[in-house]
């Protein structure tokens, strides 16, 4: 006989406790413990995955396991294919998160149409809109494929039966927080419901070979709502970023079992839906001011793609005892570190100045190769002296003032040459072992003093 037992679970990390606590011991957050009713003594659903080789209950030597290349299904969105690692892998579970109204449902509805036009059967399950509301949105963006099936349902058992009956090759669930399992007594969107429904969809994907896309809501901190276990269960995690009041959206890969991470794709939101931006470097540099102090271009790597981005700095005299340090699109502590290097190694009195650093275009950069460009933009604004508009800077800055080697320097310089830059200032340790492209001068520097001397000569 199954018994009901009350427990408390953290909605952020999934920590369980028999009594309520104000602060979660697992993640340290306050007021995140929710009361749920657990059924004790009931047999767990599901079981081992069954594949073409039979039930997954017998161990085999690794040398006897036969492998084959995972087939991928390419969509008409080349940018999405690259973020996914070359296309959609059958049987994979993909989680897409983003702020409300950012365009997650629009993107997946367009992807569903593109796959259906290739003869693939797609089931779009909406738990937030009715079938007519989804149809109206589909007409607005021109989605009219007979192989695209729309289903408005939130019951997990009905969803499972619909997948078994229709046998689609692709399934979109919008969103996982609205789906509930009848055997779980907690409310939809709770930790137990999200975890159990995702586990059921994962079993369906692995046993039938159906690729399933899940839409996940995000919290005010920008994390996908629900336990972190949700991101560990799925194969791929994509984040859809961007400002709601701007037209450009960034799709970023943070986890991918079938491809590289840190890939990035850029889309433009139009009245007719999302459109790919094939050359993001031109997008980020098209509004750059000519001859403005504090403006420096850096060649950054986003996954396997080089992107040229403008870094802007504004250094002004502070009117407070404690100067401000603000950074948008950069790690603020790294900006403070670079300013400390300038004060110590270049004798620049920056402790009496406010510093505001920004990456133009809304991109977030976190690789060490952007250090030299950030440092140069700070000096340019501090001296009120612009650098050449045809210079691009790449290099990591050490605490002793040295310029350290970076990866994939050939691709960075080639991208700069393609966009018309005449000179690239790079670490001296990166100069050997490759052929410089024609039309651009490559200058190697070893210290911050050499780099600034080249930038302002």
323 is in an annotated binding site: no
Decide if 265 contacts 251 (C-beta within 8 A). Answer: yes
What DSSP designation does 379 have?
A: H
105 is in an annotated binding site: yes
Q: Which residues contact 18 (CB under 8 A, 6 or more apart)?
A: 7, 8
190 is in an annotated binding site: no
pLDDT for the residue 245: 66
CA distance 252 to 245: 19
What is the number of other CB atoms lying within 10 angstroms of the CB of residue 420? Answer: 11
100 is in an annotated binding site: yes
- 10-residue block means of pLDDT along the chain (457 residues)? 71 81 87 73 46 57 78 88 91 90 90 91 94 91 89 95 95 92 82 88 94 84 59 90 78 88 86 88 85 94 88 93 91 94 94 93 88 97 95 96 95 94 96 91 96 94
418 is in an annotated binding site: no
Strands laid side by side in the 3-10 sheet: 16-17, 3-10, 33-40
58 is in an annotated binding site: no
pLDDT for the residue 226: 55
Domain spans in the chain, listed from the N-terminal domain onward: 3-40, 74-278, 283-455
pLDDT for the residue 454: 95
101 is in an annotated binding site: yes
Q: How many CA atoms lie within 13 A of 209 on its CB side?
A: 9
Pairing type for strands 305-317 and 295-302 reads antiparallel
pLDDT for the residue 50: 46
CATH architecture designation of domain 283-455: 2-Layer Sandwich (3.30)
378 is in an annotated binding site: no
Assign a CATH topology to domain 74-278: Rossmann fold (3.40.50)
pTM here? 0.77
Closest residue by Cα to residue 104 from 214, 255, 228, 27? 214
pLDDT for the residue 48: 42
């Amino acid at each position: 006989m199954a018994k009901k037992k009350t427990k408390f679970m953290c909605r952020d990390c999934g920590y369980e406790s028999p009594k309520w606590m104000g602060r979660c011991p697992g993640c340290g957050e306050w007021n995140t413990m929710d009361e749920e009713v657990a059924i004790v003594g009931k047999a767990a659903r599901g079981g081992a995955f069954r594949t073409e080789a039979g039930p997954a209950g017998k161990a085999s030597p690794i040398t006897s396991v036969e492998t084959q290349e995972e087939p991928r299904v390419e969509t008409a969105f080349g940018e999405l294919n690259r973020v996914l690692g070359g296309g959609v892998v059958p049987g994979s579970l993909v989680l897409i998160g983003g702020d409300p109204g950012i365009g997650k449902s629009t993107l997946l509805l367009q992807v569903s149409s593109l796959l259906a036009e290739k003869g693939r059967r797609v089931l779009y399950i909406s738990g937030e809109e009715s079938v007519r509301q989804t149809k109206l949105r589909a007409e607005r963006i021109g989605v009219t494929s007979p192989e695209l099936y729309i289903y408005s349902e939130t019951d997990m058992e009905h969803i499972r039966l619909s997948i078994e009956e229709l046998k689609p090759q692709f399934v979109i669930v919008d969103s996982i927080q609205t789906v509930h399992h009848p055997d779980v007594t907690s409310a939809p969107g709770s930790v137990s419901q999200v975890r159990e429904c995702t586990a059921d969809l994962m079993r369906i994907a692995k046993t039938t070979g159906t690729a399933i896309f899940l839409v996940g809501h995000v919290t005010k901190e920008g994390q996908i709502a629900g336990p972190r276990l949700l991101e560990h269960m799925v194969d791929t995690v994509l984040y859809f970023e961007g400002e709601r009041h701007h037209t450009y959206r960034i799709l970023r890969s943070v986890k991918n079992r079938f491809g590289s991470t840190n890939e990035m794709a850029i889309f433009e939101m139009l009245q007719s839906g999302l459109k790919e931006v094939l050359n993001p470097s031109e997008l980020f540099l098209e509004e750059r001011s000519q001859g403005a102090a504090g403006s420096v271009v850096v060649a950054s790597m986003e996954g396997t793609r080089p992107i040229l981005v403008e870094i802007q700095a504004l250094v002004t005299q502070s009117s407070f005892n404690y100067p401000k340090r603000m950074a948008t699109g950069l790690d603020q502590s790294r900006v403070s570190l670079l300013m400390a290097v300038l004060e110590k190694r270049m004798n620049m009195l920056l402790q009496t100045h406010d510093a505001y650093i920004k990456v133009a275009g809304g991109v977030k950069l976190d690789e060490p190769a952007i250090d030299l460009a950030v440092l140069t933009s700070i000096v340019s604004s501090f001296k009120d002296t612009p650098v050449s508009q045809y210079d691009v800077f790449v290099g990591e800055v050490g605490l002793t003032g040295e310029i350290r080697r970076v990866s994939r320097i050939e691709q960075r310089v080639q991208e700069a040459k393609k966009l018309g830059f005449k000179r690239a200032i790079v670490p001296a340790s990166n100069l050997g072992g490759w052929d410089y492209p024609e039309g651009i001068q490559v200058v190697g520097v070893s210290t911050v003093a050499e780099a600034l001397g080249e930038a302002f000569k």
